[in-house]
A and B are shown apart, each in its own frame.
Chain A
Amino acid sequence: NAGVTQTPKFRVLKTGQSMTLLCAQDMNHEYMYWYRQDPGMGLRLIHYSVGEGTTAKGEVPDGYNVSRLKKQNFLLGLESAAPSQTSVYFCASRPGDADVETQYFGPGTRLLVL
């Protein structure tokens, strides 16, 4: 049981390049989330999903797209990277059961946009 995994762990991009971050969970969770964390700030929600095939916008969705084609995977895409997207990206999942609402986090992906 690996929990929540994120790929890659670290990436350097040039302005204008595109990339996809992959989040995978093996806990059969319904809900999945993408956050970004910048120095001195808490986590800010980018997009989230309440089940396979669904996505919704969070606090800071501009410049990002997501897809949840399979229940276990949640992909975050940057179509044209900008230096402002330099950050640490965290994925999280939770069951969606009202009695068990703890979020489980991945180890993070560090992204540097030059």
Chain B
Amino acid sequence: KQEVTQIPAALSVPEGENLVLNCSFTDSAIYNLQWFRQDPGKGLTSLLLIQSSQREQTSGRLNASLDKSSGRSTLYIAASQPGDSATYLCAVSWDFNKFYFGSGTKLNVKP
């Protein structure tokens, strides 16, 4: 069965700290992997998308890496800020049509 797992479910860090969020998936034959941000009561906003042929993608203070052989992706956030507080979700596609989501990591960055 194709599954996406995110651990931990919640994370609290002081402002300024660098942090890593984890995503693991069964079956390494993925098409692509996306990281999303969700603010309370809101929809999802795409942060980064990594194609299966890529190893990482960067946008500002965010860096996402992909290791298909181990079934893992990490989202690195540099110099965290209170405005980064949100839930971060990982979504994996094993074909072109459908996406499977992890349950998310709720991040709290304390001022």
Q: In the complex, which residue of chain A has the Cβ closest to the Cβ of B102?
A: A42
Q: Determine if A102 and B99 form an interchain contact, defined as CB atoms under 8 angstroms apart.
A: no
> What's the tally of chain B residues with a CB closer than 8 Å to chain A?
24
Interfacial chain B residues near A43, Cβ < 8 Å: 44, 89, 91, 101
Question: How would residues 86 to 102 of chain A score, 1 for a CB under 8 Å from any chain B CB and 0 otherwise?
Answer: 00001010000010011
Q: In the complex, which residue of chain A has the Cβ closest to the Cβ of B101?
A: A42
Interfacial chain A residues near B9, Cβ < 8 Å: 40
Q: Determine if A41 and B103 form an interchain contact, defined as CB atoms under 8 angstroms apart.
A: yes
Q: In the complex, which residue of chain B has the Cβ closest to the Cβ of A3?
A: B43
Interfacial chain A residues near B45, Cβ < 8 Å: 105
Interfacial chain A residues near B41, Cβ < 8 Å: 108
The distance from the CB of B23 to the nearest CB of chain A, in whole angstroms, is: 11
Q: Determine if A107 and B42 form an interchain contact, defined as CB atoms under 8 angstroms apart.
A: yes
Question: How would residues 75 to 103 of chain B score, 1 for a CB under 8 Å from any chain A CB and 0 otherwise?
Answer: 00000000000000101010011111111
Interfacial chain B residues near A31, Cβ < 8 Å: 97
Asked whether B32 is an interface residue with its Cβ less than 8 Å from the other chain, the reply is yes
* A-B contact list, 16 entries, CB within 8 Å: A42-B89, A42-B91, A42-B102, A43-B89, A45-B99, A50-B97, A58-B98, A59-B100, A98-B96, A102-B34, A103-B46, A103-B91, A104-B46, A105-B43, A105-B44, A108-B43
Measuring CB to CB, which residues of chain A are less than 8 angstroms from any residue of chain B?
4, 31, 33, 35, 40-45, 48, 50, 56, 58-59, 90, 92, 98, 101-108
